[in-house]
Amino acid sequence: MDEQQQLVVMQLIMAGGNAKNAAFEAIRAAKIGDFKQAKAKLKEADHFLADAHQAQTSMLTAEANGQHQVVSLLMVHGQDHVMTAITFRDLAEEIVALYERLGEKSAS
């Protein structure tokens, strides 16, 4: 794996971790009834996932242009971080919506 590929893999790991963290913060905010903050944190998670998508796209583009991408354990780890973050972000959105709905029911 060359230096450029290592950089992309590290971008995947960082973006995935940051997205998951932002999604977790969205749940925490919703839990205390701060839905504005919760939704902002979901958008922040989306931003980090977009960064990860750009990193993935750069690898796919290089591969399509004939530059073989080495699939290492580190690469798999990076992709795992991103996929976990996507799943966690989607689940966080549902949890935020559930807290919001419960808040509306208790207010009435």
Residue 47 bears catalytic tag? no
Cβ atoms of residues 45 and 90 within 8 Å: no
In whole angstroms, give the CA distance from residue 30 to residue 12: 27
Catalytic hit among 53, 68, 77, 81: 77
Structure tokens at 22: 């932002």
Q: Is 80 annotated as a binding residue?
A: yes
**DSSP output for 42-59:** HHHHHHHHHHHHHHHHHH
Annotated binding residues, as ranges? 80
Annotated binding residues for Mg(2+), as ranges? 80
Show which residues are catalytic: 77
